[in-house]
Amino acid sequence: MGGAREVQHLVGLLLGTEDDWPRAYQALLGIVAPVRDADGTEHRFATERLTIEPFSLRAKPRTDLVIDRLAYWYYHPREWLKKVALMDDVYLLNSPFTFQRWRSTRRTAR
């Protein structure tokens, strides 16, 4: 039987100027970690506040999950979030795809 395995998870926080929510989230995450799954693997969690400036679509994300608290209000980070979701296999909470406006090309009769 092999030794217990440990996996580190880095959660990216894309934030505005708020400071209360991220501190509370980081404190709660510190309470629940580490988590052991059915296979005995221990999962540890850490957070990192993300900045996407200078803006580069070629930048590779360090996180597998991004909690987005910014793109709903500002257009700028949406393109980066869409890129990392589609091309870098990053999971998004508050995905910009959910509040994107889709315009119909079909015209309605008047």
Nearest-5° Cα angle at 66, 60 to 67: 155
Report the range out of 2-6, 11-15, 32-36 with the highest average pLDDT: 11-15
Burial of 84 (0-12, 13-18, 19+ CB in 10 A): buried
User: Is the separation of the CB atoms in 35 and 28 below 8 Å?
Assistant: no
> Which residues, 6+ apart, have CB-to-CB distance to 41 below 8 Å?
4, 5, 6, 7
What pLDDT is recorded for position 109? 54
Output the pLDDT for position 106. 53
Q: pLDDT-based confidence at 101, cuts 50/70/90?
A: low
| R_g (Cα) of the chain, nearest Å | 18
Structure tokens at 13: 């926080």
Report CA 31 to chain centroid distance, whole Å: 20
Q: What is the pLDDT of residues 26-66, one digit of tens each?
A: 999 988 878 999 999 999 999 999 887 776 778 788 999 99
Q: What is the pLDDT of residues 81-100, one digit of tens each?
A: 888 999 999 999 987 777 65
